Structure 1
Amino acid sequence: MTPFNLLIHKALILVMKLWKTIQWKILFVILLWILINYSRNQSRLRTNIMSSRENRTYNGQYISTEFEHFYKNVSTDKLMDPLIHKHQYSLLLDPGSKCKENHIFLLVLVYSAIYKFDERQVIRNTFGSIEEFDNTHIEYVFVLGETVNDTQQMDIEQESVKYRDLIQGNFIDSYRNLTYKRVFSLFWVNRFCNNVTYVIKIDDDITINIPFLIPYLSNKLNKTKVLECFLLIGALPYRNPRDKWYMSSLDYPFATFPPYCAGPSSIMSTDVISEMYKATKNVPFCWLEDVYGGGFLPWISRIEIVHPKCYIEDLRASLNDKPCHLFYINNSKNTSNSYSMWKTIENYTQQHLCKC
């Protein structure tokens, strides 16, 4: 190799080394640019998520809204339940004539299990016997699911013929299916009984203080956007699989539930029923009926929950007190106490002195 060729060869080697160095520098710059932009995007994403998870003031307390972001961005495959989201309910039993009145001031929906005939009778014989009060009309309906027991179904059908106050939906009546019962009742009111001012949802161990409740509702200046109940804020999910109300972190990954109405009872204006019914199409199923129906649906619908001071009290502990609460819950499950409580309510003539 001539000296000139050797020089050219060395020059080429040097150029190749320089080019590799430049390539590495270019690659480094590109990688650095990608890293900077990734960091910026992550920062924006965190900002967006944090803004979606910002605290919201609720009844004077700050509530994290991270669950709201989760539910508003849920995949569509979580919104395909034929009953919860598609509302493909069928009426197996329907009283038909319950909402034929031109206007109903109060509709009481009683969530009852199929076998609880005695509890339904207590209600029919006590506050459920009051259909007119202070020139207002009240209707009562017991909400049931279906049973695979033919004997039970025959009994229910006979009860329906006799009292004309049962509605039955096409879902198995069970504790784990209470959310189906909740949406079914929203469906029924929205479709067949929307000529009401107020709807009250109660369990069958509740006694309603009708002489106190009706004036309380009648005196409201604003009869829309009403959702009142025993409000729970900051409730924790039960993570132990042995617990009755177990909720896995896969089903609900957040530390606390949104504010929600405890299950035994709630007061709703008819526009609230309509708004929550619409919201069911966009909220994934949760088997905890009070969390779902009394928490998720109002929150997504931007409905504020109010907890009246006079809302609810233990029935047995109140038998000898002035009946100045709207509802009484029979925690002892002793039906004789329910009759005694109703007598106490009937005999008290100074409801106007009760403060709420």
Structure 2
Amino acid sequence: MIYATMKTQITQLFRGRNISTKFESYYMNASAAELIDPFIHQHRYELLINQNFKCKGKNIFLLVFIHMAPDNFAGRNLIRSTLGTIFSFHSKRIESVFVLGKTENTTLQQEIEHESKRYMDIIQGNFIDSYRNLTYKLVFSLFWVNNFCKNAEFVIKMDDDIIINIPLVVPYLTEKLKTGKSVDVLECKTITENIPVRERNNKWFITLEEYPFTKFLPYCAGHSSIMSIDVVRKMYRASKNVPYLWLEDVYGSGFLSLLLKLDMLMPKFYVEPVLNGLYEMPCSLFYLNILKNYNNSLEMWKTITKYEKRLNCSV
């Protein structure tokens, strides 16, 4: 069975209670003045576009929310032609939504609204969609799941450069349900020993006021993560009490998971670059299109579907 060896290869990277008490104390004793962000702490999200029917009355096994720039029409169409063609696998219901922030371009907004009416797979929040607002987008995603898809078993967060290996992901998560390991699930490609960038002209520059420590906690690479529904609920509630940081991956899977005492796990078969798996049997849960070449994504999807019924992964 392909999962017999998988279960032994999940590596525990850290337990929140063993992380520096200095960091934990700093963030657990935040003053009221640090908890005033209208989106992160007060959850004042409004839905400019919603799909409240997506999960209603359905037994959702897996919800996938895809973070996408408003003007990336081609990227959304690519995912619709791949992941978006699968609504059920092994009798497990799958739903996916694209998560957007708002744009101040009236013409672009009209095009998005037209697209949404046609495909009914876009949700849009009332925050400006920008790189510096990715944490808003993350918490907005948690907000939407908590309000409109709380009946899902598992949730995957992904960016537009990820291809999900559904024939492997669904049985992998099904095994968790069967073995009673479907609670407190947070799995991803983990980043450890990363340090804040202090050069002002760098895209990732972060001030000492924003983050006063010399290292980041372990956190999930922003391109994808797997969560059980209870983790989504806990993270959403916890965000009200954790000071804001614009680095979405550090904030979400670093700050929130620490204070929730979650174990962050990284399966060894979690992710590979697309070029490594284009024509081989696909034995990773995710493939990352580093070059952002749409043809490579399509070829990778063809490989996944080619091996769908004869997948024999020994990982």
TM-score normalised by structure 2 residue count: 0.92
1:355 Cα deviation from its structure 2 partner:
3.6
- State the one-letter code of the partner of 1:353: N
Q: Distance in 2 between matches of 1:351 and 1:200?
A: 24
| Higher alpha-carbon deviation: 283-292 or 94-103 | 94-103
Aligned equivalents of 1:351, 1:233: Cα separation in 2? 36
Corresponding residue number in structure 2 for 1:227 = 186
Conserved 8 A contact 2:16-2:257: no
Moved more, 234-243 or 149-158: 234-243
Structure 1, unmatched stretches of 5+, are: 1-56
Match of 2:212 in 1: 253
Structure 1 distance, partners of 2:283, 2:40, is 37
Secondary structure (helix, strand or coil) at the match of 2:36 reads: coil
Task: Name the SS for the 1:290 alignment partner.
Answer: helix
Instruction: Specify the alignment match of 1:305 in structure 2.
Output: 264
Residues 14-50 of structure 1, C-alpha deviation per residue, up to 9 Å, x if partnerless? Answer: xxxxxxxxxxxxxxxxxxxxxxxxxxxxxxxxxxxxx
Deviation at 1:184, TM superposition (A): 0.4
Q: Which of the residues 299, 312, 315 maps onto 1:353? A: 312
Give me the CA root mean square deviation.
1.6
For residues 16 and 236 of structure 2, the distance between their equivalents in structure 1, rounded to whole angstroms, comes to: 27
**% identity of equivalent residues:** 52
* Alignment partners' CA distance in 1, 2:189 and 2:162: 13
Distance 1:352 1:338 in 2: 19
Name the residue aligned to 1:9: none
Letter in 1 for 2:189: F
Q: Which runs of 4+ in 1 moved over 6 A?
A: 59-62
**Offset at residue 349 of structure 1 (A):** 4.2
* Counterparts in 2 of 1:194 and 1:61: CA distance versus 1, 3 Å: closer
Contact conserved, 1:310 with 1:355, CA < 8 A, in 2? no
Equivalent residues in 2 for 1:99-248, closer than 5 Å: 99-220=55-176, 221=179, 222-248=181-207
> Is residue 303 of structure 2 the alignment partner of residue 332 of structure 1?
no
1:126-149 deviation per Cα after TM superposition (whole angstroms, max 9, x unaligned): 122110100100000000000000
Of 15, 19, 37, which residue of structure 2 is paired with 1:81?
Answer: 37
Describe the superposition over 1:63-121 as per-residue Cα deviations: whole angstroms up to 9, x where unpaired. 43422111111211010111110111100001221012331000000000001110111
Contact 1:199 1:268 in 2 (8 A): yes
Alignment size in residue pairs: 300
3-state SS of 2:158 partner: strand
Gaps of 5+ in 2: 1-12
Q: Conserved in 1, the CA contact under 8 Å of 2:16 and 2:258?
A: no
CA distance in 2, matches of 1:204, 1:101: 28
Within the alignment, does 1:293 sit opposite 2:252 as a pair? yes
Residue 264 of structure 2 aligns to a residue in which SS?
A: coil
- Whichever residue aligns with residue 305 of structure 2, its letter is E
**Structure 2 residue matching 1:202: 3-state secondary structure:** strand
Distance 2:158 2:183 in 1: 20
| More off after superposition, 314-323 vs 123-132 | 314-323
CA contact (8 A) 1:229 1:261 kept: yes
Q: Are the equivalent residues in 2 in contact too, given 1:211–1:351 (CA < 8 A)?
A: no
Quick check: 2:60–2:92 contact (8 Å CA) kept in 1? yes
CA spacing shift, 1:99–1:61, aligned 2, 3 Å: closer
SS in 2 for 1:240: coil
CA distance in 2, matches of 1:59, 1:135: 35
Question: Residue 6 of structure 2 corresponds to which residue in structure 1?
Answer: none
Listed one character per residue, the Cα deviations across residues 311-352 of structure 1 (whole Å, up to 9, x for unaligned) are 001012321222100001111111010000000111114665
As a proportion of its length, which structure holds more helix? Answer: 1
